């Protein structure tokens, strides 16, 4: 993998990742951009102890532009976007409308492919591995920044999720604090250790592999399963068999198996709502793919894993977070985890 770092016209960092060691990435950003003036503010909610980001500048970000004005497409044929090159493989740049910035963290955009109409599931295993290597590199680089507590790599796909740019891309957040969900998992893991003497995530994986009704895919180094208390209609967790804190600690054999399993999961999600006799589902399945990595503080018992889920519960229905979920954070799932796992196995 070749890594080339450059700057955009407003001073933001842009990084190209290429399989070809000879790739030349010297295209200049020719846009007349003013320096970014983003001033997100972190406020601590005294009632819950959670940090909340106030980022009013994000109201002005681009929202579902037409294809010929997509800022994530390569710059060619008169179009000037966030990526100056006329073509690329994987590109990462600082978000122009970040939720976190400066001493309070960092937000980056990860473009998986130059093809606007594609998706992550359309990538080859080789190109998916390149994205994995980019995530790993960003985890390593951002974790080393002063004040960063946790690096979070994720993808939002679909307008139903709230995506504002249709081009296949993900994001990386470098948090200056431990986010609420991670803090809850750390507390649960500490309690589990005190009560059982074992590691919570190792035991969750062992239980899922023993209860085969919830297993979706099983490889030599990874297992994908529906959690016992899944919150979302279709929710799959992907664990390495060897507990590691983050992407940087995976071995080469673990990295080699991951792209194929990840792509298979995404492709099964896209087949979930295909009706009998139809060549394709009515629309791509919206999903969130979230890579959970251990933070610097209090993360000793935590484990790297993927949580992949969709808000779609049938071809015609979405799962909305209504009063009990949004108001009380108490989830109600309409589909039994065992039934969800069975359906995900059926669409192989």
Contacts by residues 222-228 (CB-CB < 8 Å, ≥ 24 positions apart): 222/254, 222/257, 222/258, 222/261, 224/261, 224/265, 225/341, 226/337, 226/338, 226/340, 226/341, 226/344, 227/337, 228/337
Average pLDDT score over residue span 43-60: 92
So what's the pLDDT on residue 137?
Answer: 98
The DSSP code sequence of 8-72 is -TTS-EEEEEES-TT--------S-PPPP----EEEE-TTT--EEEE-GGGGGS--S--GGG-TT
Worst-scoring range by mean pLDDT, 78-92, 214-228, 272-286, 314-328? 272-286
So what's the pLDDT on residue 39?
Answer: 86
So what's the pLDDT on residue 273?
Answer: 92
The model's confidence at residue 345, banded by pLDDT at 50, 70 and 90, is: very high
Does residue 282 carry a pLDDT above 80? no
So what's the pLDDT on residue 131?
Answer: 98
Annotated catalytic residue, options 167, 169, 292, 305: 169
Does residue 283 carry a pLDDT above 90? no
Instruction: Check if the beta carbon of residue 344 is closer than 8 Å to that of residue 272.
Output: yes
Q: Which residues pair with 151 in a beta bridge?
A: 174
For 24-43, how does the pLDDT look when each residue is reduced to its tens digit (9 = 90+)?
999 999 999 998 888 899 99
Instruction: Check if the beta carbon of residue 292 is closer than 8 Å to that of residue 135.
Output: no
Average pLDDT score over residue span 100-105: 92
For 106-120, how does the pLDDT look when each residue is reduced to its tens digit (9 = 90+)?
999 999 999 999 999
Does residue 281 carry a pLDDT above 70? no
The model's confidence at residue 277, banded by pLDDT at 50, 70 and 90, is: low
Does residue 55 carry a pLDDT above 80? yes
Average pLDDT score over residue span 253-258: 98
Pairing of strands 41-44, 150-157: unpaired
CA atoms within 13 A on the CB side of 217: 25
Q: Is 23 buried (19+), middle (13-18) or exposed (0-12) by CB count in 10 A?
A: middle
So what's the pLDDT on residue 22?
Answer: 94
Two structure tokens written together for 298: 């209090």
Does residue 63 carry a pLDDT above 90? no
Catalytic (active site) residue 79: no
Cβ count within 10 A of residue 162: 10
For 135-157, how does the pLDDT look when each residue is reduced to its tens digit (9 = 90+)?
999 999 999 999 999 999 999 99
Instruction: Check if the beta carbon of residue 119 is closer than 8 Å to that of residue 263.
Output: no
Does residue 279 carry a pLDDT above 70? no
Average pLDDT score over residue span 311-333: 95
Q: Is 117 buried (19+), middle (13-18) or exposed (0-12) by CB count in 10 A?
A: exposed
Q: Which residues pair with 237 in a beta bridge?
A: 225, 307
Does residue 341 carry a pLDDT above 80? yes
So what's the pLDDT on residue 334?
Answer: 94
So what's the pLDDT on residue 321?
Answer: 93
Pairing of strands 305-310, 234-240: antiparallel
The DSSP code sequence of 176-228 is SS--HHHHHHHHHHHHHHHHHSS-HHHHHHHHHHHSGGGEEEE-SSEEEE--T
């Amino acid at each position: 993998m070749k890594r080339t770092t450059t700057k955009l016209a407003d001073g933001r960092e842009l990084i190209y990742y290429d399989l070809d060691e000879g790739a030349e990435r010297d295209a200049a950003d020719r846009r007349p951009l003013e320096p970014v003036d983003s001033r997100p503010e972190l406020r601590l909610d005294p009632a819950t102890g959670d940090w909340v980001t106030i980022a009013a500048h994000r109201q002005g970000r681009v929202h579902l532009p037409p294809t010929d004005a997509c800022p994530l497409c390569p710059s060619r044929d008169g179009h000037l976007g966030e990526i100056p090159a006329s073509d690329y493989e994987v590109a990462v740049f600082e978000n122009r409308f970040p939720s976190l910035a400066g001493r309070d963290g960092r937000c980056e955009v990860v473009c998986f492919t130059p093809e606007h109409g594609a998706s992550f599931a359309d990538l080859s295993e080789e190109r998916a591995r390149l994205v994995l290597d980019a995530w790993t590199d960003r985890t390593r680089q951002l974790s080393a920044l002063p004040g960063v507590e946790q690096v979070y790599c994720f993808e939002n796909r679909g307008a139903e999720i709230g995506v504002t740019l249709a081009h296949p891309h993900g994001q990386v957040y470098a948090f200056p604090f431990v986010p609420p969900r991670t803090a809850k998992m750390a507390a649960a893991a500490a309690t589990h250790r005190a009560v059982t003497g074992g590691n919570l995530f190792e035991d969750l994986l062992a239980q899922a592999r023993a209860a085969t009704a919830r297993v979706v895919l099983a490889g030599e180094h990874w297992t994908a399963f529906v959690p016992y208390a899944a919150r979302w209609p279709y929710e799959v967790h992907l664990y390495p068999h060897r507990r590691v804190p983050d992407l940087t600690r995976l071995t080469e054999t673990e990295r080699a198996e991951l792209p194929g399993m990840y792509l298979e999961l995404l492709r099964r999600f896209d087949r979930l709502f295909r009706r009998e006799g139809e060549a394709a589902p009515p629309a791509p399945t919206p999903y969130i793919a979230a890579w959970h990595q251990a933070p610097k503080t209090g993360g000793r018992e935590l484990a790297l894993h993927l949580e992949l889920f969709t808000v779609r519960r049938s071809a015609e229905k979405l799962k909305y977070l209504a009063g009990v979920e949004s108001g009380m954070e108490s989830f109600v799932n309409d589909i039994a985890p065992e039934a969800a796992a069975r359906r995900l196995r059926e669409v192989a």
